Amino acid sequence: MSEAASGRFVAACVQMRGGRDPAANRDTAVRAVREAAEAGAAYVQTPETTSLIERDRAALFDKVGSQEQDATLAALREVAREKTIVLQIGSLAIREGDKIANRAFLIDADGQIHAAYDKLHLYDVDLPNGESWRESATYTGGDCAIVAATPLAAIGLTICYDLRFPALYRALAEAGAQVLTAPACFTRQTGEAHWHVLQRARAIETGAFMISAAQGGRHEDGRETFGHSLIIDPWGRILAEADGDAPGIILAEIDLARVTEARARIPTLSHARSFTVRRA
């Protein structure tokens, strides 16, 4: 019986420590995706900003181009075709006029782009340790959520900061997503505080698997990211977790019967009621 027919498959997350050289990041991602496929993964996910971690706006614009010109996208499409896997590129920086799209790609086993998703929520925050981020100054936000029907599972696409908006994940689950994803470049400070609890909460609230590959460690542009890539089942149990912020690969078996079981035990998706809010 095929993996698609059985409702079971092996998923992998590639954890990276990306830098300022797109070619080096591309080669690292290609090697890691190939290694995950050779270890038995039918679905592989890379982290947010797979091809480039660059905080300087001018340098970022100098290093990115259109979707058609993106060498990392082309190389990873070829790996998906070569290894006949479903590959989710956590995101790439894609030039869109005077701004950049933070765009995820889901690649079919024949190397074709099945779906693309632009990150909805932009990270504009000031953190207690003095870190300040203004993604809206550089990036353009998306306006459409995506559920991709693949031979393995129905997969909901999100990216990083989206994780803090539970209504998005509920909407994806209500639209049929069995697997939810949040590849990320989470800062160390916020990751230490919230990464695990948010990932587990999104899985529990929706009765879906959460699969989230992450960037980890100190990067060339000076930022520090949390790592701890995760694969979580619909009951909120961690099936696999990366070793801190170290680059590497994690794998876990996905059994879609667990989605049906979790949603039958706690049927929150069907129990939701509409309501109004009144000030008293």
Decide: 213 and 249 in contact? Cβ < 8 Å: no
Which residues are designated catalytic? 48, 119, 160
What is the rounded distance in angstroms from the CA atom of residue 80 to the CA atom of residue 43?
9
What is the rounded distance in angstroms from the CA atom of residue 134 to the CA atom of residue 272?
35
Decide: 183 and 212 in contact? Cβ < 8 Å: yes
Residue 201, class by beta-carbon neighbours within 10 Å (0-12 exposed, 13-18 middle, 19+ buried)? middle
